[in-house]
Amino acid sequence: MRDRFLPFSPPCLDDDEIAEVVESLRSGWITTGPKCRAFEQAFANKLHSPAALALSSCTAALHTALAVLGVGPGDEVITSCFTFCSTVSVIEHVGATPILVDVEPDTMNLDPAAVAAAVTERTRVVLPVHYGGHPCDMAPLREIAARHDLEIVEDAAHALPARCGDQWIGQGDNPVAFSFYATKNLTTAEGGMLTGSPAFVEKARVASLHGMSKDAWKRYDKGGSWFYEVVMPGFKYNLPDVLAAIGLGQLRKLDRMQERRREAAARYHDDFADLPLQRPLERSGVESAWHLYPVRLLDAAPIGRNELIERLGAANIGTSVHFIPIHFHPYYREKYGWREGMFPVAEDAFERVVSLPLHGGLNEADQADVIEAVRTELA
């Protein structure tokens, strides 16, 4: 057994990020400013996004996107039942009604057939979640949206960098929200990014900082004007330069970290081939971000999911569960009357799924310990 605990997904930071942060601190400009703008531009260039806006979280990006689109009371937003709570919370925050649908059994992404069946005259937005880093099947979702004149807002918290064919997630004009939380493929400690058309992103920029016509950088930098106007009741969602500095360092090594993720995912896939597990897949024509490596125990497994997690923890192997279905949480269950049995694919996955350690700094020796521990329990 390992003598040290192996975290599920620690951040991969080194002297490059430290140097960027020190430079920001020494510059005297620590809130939103030049580092943030450089990070936005570098991020947009990386994904060929039309425009990008750095924000305090992916939740902030999703909330801002819905607010700028004018989604509100009386509107419905269709999204996945198998996601983190913030995907649905932001729908509540704008006063709209979340409409949950089940997921596909292989990718755990939004089921297009279920989406089509859920559309009503009140539907305004389809909000797909790219689970685990594997892109949703966007073609049928875009066809549904076009047929019913709906907006698409993508939750890409797991999907940096991921693509369908030759197009990156975040490359289109529709709003796409990314997460830079500590466990993500790229981190700024806390933070997020919203991509979309230049016109949309500029509206979102105003909304993200109190609805003010000028941000702090423009007001307090040399030559800036003190005058500003509030044009809408906005939010306080801006990303500080100190955190954007971390993002700049991370972005420069993203390709290297992703190469390691892909290598580690491939090794898991090969070494678990004979075990009673359903391994995550990567569909043809898709490049997953491999944010997660979630395995699902089959009926032939000698122990259940919870016991496997306990035994791996005792062996100093960190794991997680992605996710507890939304309709299992008391607030949503009680408010909307959602009950067990409504979304069988997601419910079955929840009972079986466990996410194994996977990150850009996972070395071969540590991964070998994970594989040995899993095989000890399941082989």
Residue of 35, 46, 184, 203 marked catalytic: 184
Backbone angles phi, psi at 177, to 5 degrees: -110, 130
The C-alpha R_g of the chain, in whole angstroms, comes to 21
325 neighbors 131 (Cβ within 8 angstroms): no
* Host H or E run for residue 270: helix 254-271
Closest-CA residue to 208 (of 13, 77, 62): 62
In the three-class reduction of DSSP (H, G, I as helix; E, B as strand; rest coil), residue 291 is classed as: coil
How far apart (Å, rounded) are the C-alpha atoms in residues 95 and 179?
A: 23
Give CA separation, 343 vs 135, 143, 254, 296, 350, in Å: 21, 23, 36, 17, 11
* End-to-end alpha carbon distance in the chain: 17
- Burial pattern 342-357, b for ≥16 Cβ within 10 A else e, equals ebebbbebbebbbbbb
Is 184 assigned a catalytic role? yes
How far apart (Å, rounded) are the C-alpha atoms in residues 133 and 317?
A: 22
For residue 167, list its beta bridge partners. 164
How far apart (Å, rounded) are the C-alpha atoms in residues 303 and 289?
A: 30
Maximum Cα–Cα distance across the chain? 70
Residues with catalytic roles:
184
